[in-house]
Amino acid sequence: MPTFTSAAVGITALLLLLGGSKKKKNGGKGTTPAGCPPFEYSEEQVDAAIASAIVAGKQSKESIASSVGANMWPTYPNGKSRLAWPPSSTAPDEVVCLWELLLRQIEDYLQENNIPPFPDCPAGTSINQSAGVCEPTTASTFDPTGYETPLNSNYPTHGTLLQVRHGDRLLGTFSEINVGQDIQGEALRSIAYTTLLGAAWDTAKSNGASDADAKKFAQDVAYDNSNRVDYIHLIQCSPWNDALYTTYGFGPQAMESPAGRALRFLPQHHDNRKRMMQGYAPRRNITLGDITDKGAGNAQAQSGDRNLAYLWLPKLNEDTLWDSGGKDITTNGVNWADGSSAIMPPPEVVELGVENVPEGAGWGCLGYEASSVGE
């Protein structure tokens, strides 16, 4: 069972922050009926969000408030208009109202919990005093090229990292050969289809098949809808992908994973390939939401970064694929040198850690759940 280790202050610090919160004079915290209509305002939820922001490295009232606002109210209640945090000078009165409530509650929270001192910055970061946030410090570089599908390749390779391109999808049976270019000039690919096609071809050739027989085997494997569904589940159930990229707020066209979440092929992520090349941990940027968000398509990016995901494509057991006649799509029996499953990236990638991953969720599925995730 894969285990993530936090690259920052762990769950213990978060529990300490939450556990130290004193009760209000009115006897407890709850939803403020008046709030700032049409927004609801729960003091308990805001306290939890304040603690998470502090643990993540926010160390000024304004940076904490911006983080809380972006997480709790990314849009208006109707979901049609995105909010900016902090509010602009032309923001509506109800948004300014939320901002002022946040700043007052943050001031109370800091006093009640004797903060500062703030927790130490996450590993690999240091405090930017003027901005009141922890920022990455100089790190050693990491070369991903030995672990990824080449950026100029149209065919993803299982057992590699893949930089998603505009027009890519998990579903379908299409590739750049029979679809052409999308409106942004990028080749369209069905990732599950093209990955299975290449994996099956390589498997057949390594078992002595002729080109004609290898082509037929590859097509039989990749065109099988149940095979594609199985591989999509493996991609979304990889604890690494799940922790960094999936959300309950997926759209109606996404395929829900057994964990109840799904990937969104929209630019809502950090440039994690660049972060990793700089030696930093990949970082989650998309909101998680909860089961009430399923199918709503309301997931939002938490920062201004607007990049496509840098996914891990789980490494398949080619022996099992061949012996089953192309019917068994599994990573079972494929492990890295340290014994970890190939549903996860290799240890050199995992050792970079992950950041901004919510605690408490069981990442992954299909028997590959991860624990001790995030900060």
Kindly state whether residues 298 and 248 are assigned to the same domain: yes
- Asked if 63 and 99 sit in the same domain, the reply is yes
Domain count, the chain: 2
Q: Is 355 within a domain?
A: no
pLDDT in tens, 189-208: 899 999 999 999 999 999 99
Same domain assignment for residues 299 and 153:
yes
- Tens of pLDDT, residues 217-257: 999 999 999 999 999 999 999 999 999 999 999 998 899 99
Two structure tokens written together for 21: 């919160």
Residue 358 lies in a domain: no
| Domain end call among 90, 114, 136 | 136
Yes or no: say if 94 and 78 are a contact pair by the CB < 8 Å rule.
no
Residue 6 lies in a domain: no
Tokens in use for 355? Answer: 């950041």
Let me know whether 186 and 294 are in one domain: yes
**CA dihedral sign of residues 301, 58, 273, 369:** negative
Q: Which two tokens stand for residue 210?
A: 């002729």
Q: Would residue 65 count as lying in a domain?
A: yes
pLDDT in tens, 138-175: 656 889 999 999 998 888 999 999 999 988 999 988 87
Q: Give the residue carrying structure tokens 């901002």.
A: 99
User: pLDDT for 264-280, tens place per residue?
Assistant: 999 999 999 999 998 88
29 and 151 together in one domain: no
CA distance 185 to 259: 34
Q: Are residues 59 and 201 in the same domain?
A: no
**Tokens standing for residue 206:** 């390594």
- Full-prediction pTM beyond 0.85? no
Is residue 295 located within the same domain as residue 196? Answer: yes
Q: What is the pLDDT of residues 53-84, one digit of tens each?
A: 898 888 899 999 998 988 888 888 876 677 78
For residue 364, being part of any structural domain is answered with no
322-372 pLDDT per residue, tens: 999 999 999 999 999 999 999 999 999 999 999 888 876 689 986 765 544
The H-or-E segment that residue 200 falls in is helix 191-206
Question: Nearest-CA neighbor of 302 among 238, 247, 257?
Answer: 247
What pLDDT, in 10s, does the model give residues 22-37?
444 344 444 444 578 8
120 & 202 share domain: no
Would residue 362 count as lying in a domain? no
Q: Is residue 60 part of a domain?
A: yes
Residue closest to 136 by CA, chosen among 123, 120, 147: 123
Tell me which residue of 268, 261, 297 sits closest to 285, measured CA to CA.
268
Same structural domain, 43 and 129: yes
| Mean of the per-residue pLDDT values of the chain | 84
Alpha helix (H) residue ranges in the chain: 11-19, 43-55, 61-72, 93-112, 176-179, 191-206, 211-223, 225-237, 239-245, 272-277, 318-323, 347-350
Is pLDDT larger for residue 74 or for residue 261?
261
Q: How many helices and strands in the chain, by DSSP H and E?
A: 12, 6
Q: State the number of CA atoms in the 13 A half-sphere of 181 facing the CB.
A: 4
Q: Is residue 290 part of a domain?
A: yes
- Which residue range forms the structural domain that includes residue 148? 144-350
- Shared domain for 23 and 154, answered yes or no, is no
Q: Do 216 and 97 share a structural domain?
A: no
Q: Are 123 and 269 in a shared domain?
A: no
User: Which three-class secondary structure state does DSSP give residue 1?
Assistant: coil
